[in-house]
Structure 1
Amino acid sequence: MEQVFTTESTLLTLELRILYAVIGLYVLSCLLHISQAGVSVFFRNFFFGKMATNLLYLAVIGHTLLIIIRWIEQGQPPVQNKYECLSWFAWCNTFTYLYIRRRWSELSMPGIFVTMLSIAALFLAINKYDPTVTPIAPALQSPWYFWHVLIAFGAYAVFVVGCSVELSYVIIKGLGYAKKSWEDFGLPSLDVQTFHGITYKLVLLGFPLLTFGIISGAAWADDAWGRYWSWDPFEILSLITWTAFGMYLHAMSIPKWRETWGSTLCLLGFASMLITFMGSGFLTKLFGLYSMHAY
């Protein structure tokens, strides 16, 4: 028994050391992304952006190793509690950003928001939640649970990258740099319609994923608690997020609404998504609401 306890403590210590190193790489990458955006105001130089991307690759490799260790340790996908879900959320965001950046190599400035969000998720995980591996709760033993989490995080990651692109453009235009080459800021050197197209394609991919995530979540709820829908605060917030992105897609299909409502609805959906995943627990405690969705 003592040997098992020692082994678990050693693995946990190793995991935390890797996690701190990964957070450090995320922070450095974020600072370099910010430096790239600042330098781009005056000079056409992409040194900091390239360094930021390379560090982000190292961070994702380390984070992947951490997830593998955790998976082997408990024999289950590491999405069994809030600590693990926050870690998985951060990994999905950065992995998706790097993959999409290979498709649109000009994307750099959105990396600021992707890395910031990943850092925030990991800081929340290590400061608020217990990293110790615990027995799997009965409600999480449903086969629907893993598919629900996998699909939902896939949707979240695509939304994070797409909305980071949108937010980058909104900020640059708001600061009055609209006449400067978009490429100087690490954004596609394309016209505004093409930029909207990038965000639109990503949200268009994420929306059906979120839809199936909600459906699989309902199936999981029925399997675990005997009902598909209970108007749980998390369920309501998920429905609001789904509605906001659905309205965004509808607005983008109407030419005269693209400029007036497109960015607003996209960022509204993004904010709703963040509140759903990272803030729902705080809101339920603040207002004294009961929620079965503690994960």
Structure 2
Amino acid sequence: MPVNETLSQYSDWSYTTATAIYVVALAFFLIEQSFGAKGRLAAERAKSRARELVGAGGPSVTETTVDTAPPAPRPVGRAERIGRMGAALTVLGVLLHLSALVLRGLATHRVPWGNMYEYIMVVTLIAVITWLWAIKKFPVRHLSGFMLLPIVILMFIGGTMLYTVAAPVQPALQSYWLVIHVSAAATSSGIFLVPGVASLLYLVRAAHERNPKRFAKFASKLPAAEVLDRVAYRTTVFAFPLFTFGVLCGAVWAESAWGRFWGWDPKETTAFVAWVVYAAYLHSRATAGWRGSRAAVINTLGFVVTVFNLFFINLVTTGLHSYAGVG
């Protein structure tokens, strides 16, 4: 069937608009990160002061308020309001991002992840959705700028240097395995972006806790290391089985297309290395002696391998996956 050029144009416009909205949201989150620290520090000091009073035998919060009125809600500062606006803009960007993906699929009459431009579109969409879940579950919204920065960079690269005109996929990719294998690979890769950033920030925070003089201005604005560790661990736990499923599906597709399950193609080899690294991270995270910074270093290495696999292997090396640009 011919490509619907109108829907393709709408998809491109949605993608560009979503990228622009992410940039604005990024600016809002950076404002919250830079100027919202005073409010967070004041809240922490108030909690610490309340604990000191209770420990010293002074009246507790409940003793002074239970017979009068419930405590007033903490006032929302200007920086926090700007952060909330950034979160709302991020949700709007996700809706436009998703629209771009759906319109691309409708325009080409196939699943919209048949080339590098579309693959990056999926990866970044999944990463932003995962981060929205993270900021709902953990107090890490003010760190959203660090997450949106690589997203914006990836989307800019995808929309400029890697942009491909909407068209049917090559005959070798016209298989139901394109739906199963590539969707699993793209989804897991998008989720892995979140623990990668969280682990990097964890290493900064942990270094500051060991030596308060290191990264003093920056690390003091980060959440506790335990919070960043939980974000990294829970997202990795969710992504790893999906990534494993994608690797196994790729092996089955390889046997069907090339007559062998595994051939140590550059793409296959790098995917296997990434799988080993993430398996080592989960094992180390479950082992008491390797928790903390050691586990975060391993997870960061997995993040580096994932990005390496996304760009260098797809765009520089030559292998059986070169014609696809994905997988």
Fold in common (TM above 0.5): yes
1:64 aligns with 2:98: yes
- What TM-score comes out, normalization by structure 2 length? 0.77
Q: What do residues 20-50 of structure 1 show as CA deviations (whole Å, max 9, x unaligned)?
A: 2111001111122222211134444422321
Equivalenced residues, count: 279
Question: Residue 76 of structure 1 aligns to a residue in which SS?
Answer: coil
Q: 2:112 aligns with which of 64, 67, 78?
A: 78
Aligned AA (2:266): P
Out of 68-77 and 10-19, give the one that drifted further: 10-19
Distance of aligned partners of 1:265 and 1:134 in 2 relative to their CA distance in 1, 3 Å threshold:
same
Conserved? CA contact 2:104–2:112, under 8 Å = yes
**Taking structure 1 as reference, are residues 178 and 126 closer, same or farther at Cα in structure 2, changes over 3 Å only?**
closer
Query: Which amino acid is 2:193 matched to?
Result: V
Instruction: Answer whether contact 1:110 1:164 (CA < 8 A) is retained.
Output: no
- What 5-or-longer segments of structure 2 have no aligned partner? 41-76, 209-213
Tell me whether 1:230 sits opposite 2:259 in the alignment.
no
Structure 1 position 26 matched with structure 2 position 22: yes
> Partner letter of residue 276 of structure 1?
N
Contact (CA 8 Å) 1:109, 1:168: kept in 2 or not?
Answer: no
How far off is 1:282 after superposition?
3.7
Report the residue type matching 1:176 in the other structure: A
Residue type of the partner of 2:286? S
Tell me the TM-score normalized by structure 1. Answer: 0.85
* Structure 2 Cα separation of the partners of residues 19 and 274 of structure 1: 21
Q: Who wins on radius of gyration, i.e. which is larger?
A: 2
Q: 1:255 Cα deviation (Å)?
A: 1.5
1:17 maps to amino acid: W
Shift of 1:291: 4.2
Change (3 A) 1:290 1:144: closer
Distance 1:43 1:74, change over 3 A: same
> In structure 1, what is the Cα distance between the partners aligned to 2:185 and 2:30?
29
CA contact (8 A) 2:21 2:90 kept: yes
Q: In 2, are the aligned partners of 1:30 and 1:116 still within 8 Å (CA)?
A: yes
Among all aligned residue pairs of Structure 1 and Structure 2, give the percentage whose two residues are the same amino acid.
Answer: 23
CA 1:211–1:169: 2 relative to 1, 3 Å: same
Quote the Cα distance in structure 1 between the aligned partners of 2:186 and 2:135.
19
* Aligned position for 1:87: 121
Provide, for residues 36-89 of structure 1, a one-character-per-residue CA deviation record: whole Å limited to 9, x for no partner: 211134444422321211110010011111112112112211011111111111
Sort the Cα spacing of 1:49 and 1:84 in 2 relative to 1 into closer, same or farther, 3 A. Answer: same
After TM superposition, the structure 1 = structure 2 runs for residues 63-212 of structure 1, keeping only pairs within 5 Å, are 63-104=97-138, 106-172=139-205, 173=208, 174-176=214-216, 180=220, 185=222, 187=223, 192-193=225-226, 195-212=228-245
Report how far residue 149 of structure 1 moved.
Answer: 1.6
Name the residue aligned to 1:49.
83
Shift of 1:130: 3.8
- Greater mean deviation of Cα atoms: 82-91 or 165-174: 165-174
**In structure 2, what is the Cα distance between the partners aligned to 1:251 and 1:34?**
33
Matched to 2:188, the amino acid is A
Query: In 2, distance between residues paired with 1:192 and 1:208?
Result: 25
Distance 1:177 1:260 in 2: 20
Residue ranges of structure 1 left out of the alignment (5+ in a row): none
Letter matched to residue 238 of structure 1: A
RMSD: 2.4
